[in-house]
Each structure stands twice: as C-alpha cells, then as structure tokens.
Amino acid sequence: MVILCACFSCSPIPAMALSLNIIQKLHLCRHPRWTKPFCPLLHPSSQLLQCKLYSSKYRRPGLPPDNTPPWKRINFSFEKGVAGVKKHFGLLKKEVEDHLRGPGGKTLRENILEQTNVVWEFRSLEDLDKWTLSSDQEIGGKSQVSLKLGRNNQTALFYGTLNTEVPRDGETRYSGYCTMKSKTPLGAFNRKLHYDWSNFNTLYLRVRGDGRPWMVNIKSDSYFSQQRDDLYNYFIYTQGGPYWQDIKIPFSKFFLSSRGRIQDNQHPLWTDKITAVGFTLGDKANGPFQLEIDFIGLCNDRAHTEEFAYEKYKRNP
C-alpha cells in the first residue's frame, strides 16, 4: 500500500495508470473500503472507477458503449486529497469520542430513558442532501421527480409527475414509479454505518399528501449478498387537503419483499442494522403528485407488544 501511494507523488497520469493497474492485479478494487483510506489523493470519481471495473457490463438497448480509456477518467487533486485526509481523521476522532461516551454518542441513562427521537428533519439544503431521488427514467421512463424545501424552510416537498408509459426498448414491460430514499450513513474513511433503532418499536411520520397511497420502505443491512435487494415495506394512505397527518407504523407491521415481490418466508425487521428509509409512489395513476414531510422520527409505544404481524411459514425438513 505504501508503494501505491508513493507512486502518486511522481508524474500524475503515468503513475496513476501504473498504480491502478497494480490495484487491478491485486484485486484490491473489489474492496474499496481498504483502498480509499490508503489512497486519499485519488478523487472519489477515480475510486468509483476502480469498483466499476468489476461491475456488470450490461447496457440498456440503444445506449452507445463507453469506450473512454480508464486513465482519462481519473481526476487527481492534491488539495482535495489533503482536505479529505483531514475530514476523515476528524470523523474518526468524533466516532471514538461517541463510542467512549455511550451507544450512539449518548450516555447509558439517556438511551434507557429515551422515548422519542427525530432522525430526519428538513430545515436547510444540507438536510436535503441526505436524500436521493430516482424514477423510471433509469429504465427509459418519463416520470419526473424533484425535492425542495417547503414554505418557511421548515419541510421537504417531494413532487413531480408520474407517467406509466412503457419505454419502447423491447424488454421493459412495466413503468411508472418515483422514489425518495435516504443516503446510507458513512463514517471515517467512507465506512458504511447503520442506525440502531432497537430501543424503539414504531416509525413516526408527520406528512401532508395529495390523497395518493405511498409505500414506506426500510432497508436493513444483511449478512449475505443474495439479500442485498431485500426491503421492508408498508403502505400509508394520505388524506389530501391542507391538514397534516401524524402516522405511527409499528416495525412489526413491515413485511419483507425482494425486487418488488413479497416473500413467503417472512421474518421481523432487524432494527439494530437500519441503513435507509424511503418513500415510493407507484399507484399507476398518471399525473402530478406531491408529498410534504415535516419530520421522520421514532417512538417507543409501550402499549404495542406485537412482535410480528405476519405468519411465519415453516419449511419442510
């Protein structure tokens, strides 16, 4: 690793091409969490390039191939590298301090007595940057999505237009969805973290919709790569009009699905390994939509004692 980073102090492009070739041969780009900390002078776009070298070569019909040489995609910046090192060591220091203080950076007394917690609120553009948007445009659809701050910069307004027209590419059969999803929390050196919600049993939302049904998604970290598409879902029905809705969804009500299909083998949500929360619209009704969100939080409902709301099927031995 020392040799790889030392090469970057020489001539930029030849040294990077050589070091990138060495990384490919060592198969280190399969594990970017190990290469990123030791190669801080590489711009994030070049680090993503290392991972894309082993990604799928599937290309949608009609799209031209990308024949750009790898060395032309590398963006070298010494200043950004130094700033990145300072940032990640600062995050590492904060993580150590929070770990010594207690779970989640709070004392043990606070964790035991905590009954509610606001995880996401929308008061600035930095709060909006914690979310990503997607729609059927990724598969050639025509739906449009946007996210902005609401009035007085106190809410988030997720709006757009849903279009169920199927792209004419010869293989897509269904279209028409819009999604808003939170970004996976990252720690020092871009390590993926997760939320620990084991002290709570209910998801608390305050939203104002347009009368459409929405699907709330929760992503939990999994141990096996075959489970990377697993999602826990539950539906909410907005009333429309000027009134806000306070919606409480127990975690026991979320059902397991994978790639849009409900699974027969159901099991409860792992609340100690939450990675993302999202909202999906796909009611097959063409036209404009909007969902205004005040906050997304958690609460511990002592009156709710249900462990899991769905039957667990036993497989044959």
Q: Give 284's contacts (C-beta < 8 A, 6+ positions apart).
A: 164, 176
> What's the first-to-final CA gap in the chain, in angstroms?
49
- pLDDT, position 205: 95
Positive or negative CA dihedral for 148, 151, 155, 158? negative
Q: Give 35's contacts (C-beta < 8 A, 6+ positions apart).
A: 23, 28, 29, 47, 50
Report pTM. Answer: 0.73
Q: Give 264's contacts (C-beta < 8 A, 6+ positions apart).
A: 313
Average pLDDT in the chain: 80
Q: How far is the C-alpha of 307 from the C-alpha of 317, rounded, in Å?
A: 25
Place of tokens 């490919």: 24
Give 8's pLDDT tier (boundaries 50, 70, 90): very low
> Quick count: other Cβ atoms within 10 Å of Cβ 128?
15
Top-level class of domain 114-299 = mainly beta
Indicate if the pLDDT at residue 19 is higher than 60: no
List, for residues 85-142, the tens digit of each pLDDT value: 999 999 899 989 988 888 777 888 887 888 899 999 999 999 999 999 999 998 889 9
DSSP string, 159-177: EEEE--PPPSSSS------
Instruction: Give mean pLDDT, residues 8-37.
Output: 39
Minimal CA–CA distance to 217: which of 267, 164, 180? 180
Q: Which residues pair with 206 in a beta bridge?
A: 246, 295
* Between 22 and 311, residue with greater pLDDT: 311
Q: Which token pair is 219? A: 């992503």
Per-domain residue ranges for the chain?
A: 114-299
Q: How far is the C-alpha of 55 from the C-alpha of 73, rounded, in Å?
A: 16
With beta carbons less than 8 A apart as the criterion, state whether 210 and 277 touch: no
Positive or negative CA dihedral for 251, 252, 258, 261? negative
- pLDDT, position 114: 85
Give 315's pLDDT tier (boundaries 50, 70, 90): low
Q: How far is the C-alpha of 13 from the C-alpha of 19, rounded, in Å?
A: 10
List, for residues 224-267, the tens digit of each pLDDT value: 888 888 999 999 999 988 899 999 999 999 999 998 899 988 99
Give 22's pLDDT tier (boundaries 50, 70, 90): very low
Residue 37: exposed, middle, or buried by beta-carbon count in 10 A (0-12, 13-18, 19+)?
A: middle
- Tell which phi-psi region holds residue 232, choosing left (phi > 0), alpha (psi between -120 and 50) or beta: beta
Q: How far is the C-alpha of 72 from the C-alpha of 76, rounded, in Å?
A: 11
